[in-house]
Chains A and B, each alone.
Chain A
Amino acid sequence: MYRATLSHTVHTFDDLATLLAKASPLRSGDVLAGIAATSSEQRVAAQYALADLPLRVFLDDHVVPYEADEVTRLISDTHDAAAFTPVAHLTVGALRDWLLSDTATTGVLSALAPGLTPEMVAAVSKICGLQDLMLIASKCSVVTRFRNTVGLPGRLSVRLQPNHPSDDLRGIAASILDGLLLGAGDAVIGINPATDSPERCHALLSMLDEVRQKLDIPTQSCVLAHVTTTLDLIRRGSPVDLMFQSIAGTEAANRSFGISLALLDEAHDATRALKRGTIGDNVMYFETGQGSALSANAHHGVDQQTLEARAYAVARRYRPLLVNTVVGFIGPEYLYDGKQITRAGLEDHFCGKLLGLPMGVDVCYTNHAEADQDDMDALLALLVAAGVNFVMGVPGADDIMLGYQSTSFHDALAMRDLFGRRPAPEFEAWLAKHGLTAANGRIRPREMPGPFRALLPDATQ
């Protein structure tokens, strides 16, 4: 039982999951689950109680039972007590103060990451304002490598997302060329296939590999198929750079995705064994999003933001190259409007970075959410200010396969210009080599370079 007394009114919370849920800033998914605070004052009362909670409580009191859930076991069994020492005596509220203090430098935060659990960072995020979420995250640095270096200070990378509703190879190639010309693709060139058919995925992987080799692009490619599909393709010799999978924060939600930690272990091992990375071996690409556990009816009464942070515990086991929270994709029943999407995007980035993950954010919304492009402009700028590793690049921000709006190649360029952020260094040199960079360092293609032209779908006709 947890309690807070505000002006002689005692607010009580039955257990840790209830306390975390009631302390969560309002979002429709927690209301849908029936676990949200019932008044604004109750929410703040829960935040008071949470602020007084010693961090040590999270080591013994599990929001999802240890016996019932392999994600809880992963979190508990891999907790690094030595790394936890600098903050072991603190409460959640004191952790916020400590994170904001000048004591918490980039190096100190990197060393702390294995000592923090998802529930601790979720808890502290709930009492942080947006400004805190940005300021603290901006002090974290997570750098990963495969064929280039993602996440260095002063850099902003882009996933080039060239989806097509029927996986038409020429249509996808056209979108890739457009993105490359506009400086996108240094995080990954990653296609969401329209179907999970192994034959189509093989064709897509082969095409991506051919484009990358012909243009000698220092980047990595990925077809975002189910992990079992990609594993089979590896066995059949397809050119797989990165292993993709959507993950969630409970064992049951992961089961609904058709995955387990054992399967992810196998996938990680198989991909590393290919040794396709030239300067690093971060081979995993994960996607997450608040609400996925509730949507799979696998939330154990835990709020969606805490469960999202637990998904990051799954991710960090595999030292991924990229983790992408697809923040507004799930729809208004989980994140209702621009305000809720904005908060969730910054929370996810904050929690992931504190836990030591290379966080990117798909700044996005669906047409039935109360949001528009202005909301996305704002969230994108806030995330870049907070030091996000990468964002999405979709032609005109319109994903014609998945039916939602993400960020465009132009959006990413605007952010690079506004904040002085540059692409991954290897990719930046490649852009310059092809004459896509203006004298001031900005990406300003004037014409399609010859080698690109040779790859045009119609070049052979």
Chain B
Amino acid sequence: MSDESVKPPAPLTPWDSLRRHTPARIGLERSGASLATGPLLSARLAHARARDAVHEPLDETRLGDELGVLGLPVVVVSSGAENRQQYLLRPDLGRRLAPGAETLLTPHAQGDIDVVFVITDGLSARATQSHAAPLLAAIVPLLQPDWSIGPLVILRQGRVAAGDAIAAALHARIVVVLIGERPGLSAPDSMGAYLTWRPRPQTTDADRNCISNIRPEGIGTSDAAFRLVYLLREMRKRQVSGVALKDTSERLEIGEG
């Protein structure tokens, strides 16, 4: 080990101050040209956590209990995907509801529903498990009593478009889908919120608004609640969602700095 190339980068190298500007894995310690054992294991741990996040099931009972205190009915339905592997391989099944799901929903299709919230595992059950209930606890008081809120729908193995069928079954004007996003190496528990005004069969992603990266290290609960309620109010006022609302919400984000 006399080769001086095995030494870590010189102590003067100012990586510590550079790391303030980026969460990227810069200035990693080397052995020869390769990663030293420390950063190697650190990357492996991050991948292990992301993998676990993808395959961890949603604890519906616990989530149902946490949502129950909000005073709204809680309904649990499944998508067309029967298990995790099928969910990963067949995105089309995750966008549909399982046979019989609508019969569970229709008893709740009473009166005028302004907005229905759908909570689904997506690609990270850990994200919705951790962040959905606190977010809804912040949002519901901001909307009541002006807004009529539908049942809180827990959806197993869901993708965003499955929310459209749920809104249709409940005759809801707006659907908000809270879903676990694809886990990144540095963010295994990121939740997204997808908002759609009057979803129809021909609705595409361009018709939706999205708040991404909801997690403590990204967009925190109160910030996300503020943005979500803002978008909901704009949506109801202007009766549109998607690209037409995009500019306004972006300005808002910049304004919040």
Contacts and interface: CB of A to CB of B under 8 A. Distances in A.
A117 interface: no
Interface stretch (B87-95, B104-112, B170-178): B87-95
B13 A396 contact: no
Contact of A396 (B17, B43, B51, B187): B43
Contacts of B153: none
Contacts, number: 144
Interface in B29-62: 30, 32-35, 39, 43-44, 46-47, 50-51, 53-54
B71 interface: no
B237 interface: no
A398 B32 contact: no
B185 A405 contact: yes
B14 A458 contact: yes
A316 interface: no
B13 A447 contact: yes
Interface residues of A, number: 53
B9 A446 contact: yes
Contacts of A336: 89
B251 interface: no
Contacts of A331: 182
A39 B32 CA distance: 47
A395 B28 contact: yes
Contacts of A65: none
B22 A171 contact: yes
B23 interface: yes
Contacts of A456: 14, 17-18
Interface in B142-185: 181-185
Given A171-B22, A368-B54, A410-B35, 17 more contacts: A31-B89, A32-B90, A174-B18, A177-B18, A178-B27, A181-B9, A336-B89, A367-B53, A367-B183, A368-B123, A373-B44, A395-B26, A398-B24, A403-B184, A403-B185, A446-B5, A456-B18
Interface of A: 28, 31-32, 162-165, 168, 170-175, 177-178, 181-182, 331-333, 336, 366-368, 372-373, 395-400, 403-405, 408, 410, 413-414, 416-417, 438, 442-448, 456-458
10 smallest CB-CB distances across A and B, nearest first, come from: A396-B25, A171-B22, A403-B184, A413-B33, A367-B50, A447-B10, A174-B18, A170-B21, A444-B5, A171-B21
30 contacts: A170-B21, A173-B21, A174-B21, A175-B22, A175-B26, A331-B182, A332-B88, A333-B90, A336-B89, A367-B47, A367-B182, A367-B184, A367-B188, A368-B183, A373-B43, A396-B24, A396-B35, A396-B39, A398-B43, A398-B186, A400-B23, A400-B24, A403-B181, A405-B47, A405-B185, A410-B28, A410-B30, A446-B5, A456-B18, A458-B18
Interface of B: 4-5, 7, 9-10, 12-15, 17-19, 21-28, 30, 32-35, 39, 43-44, 46-47, 50-51, 53-54, 88-92, 123, 181-188, 213
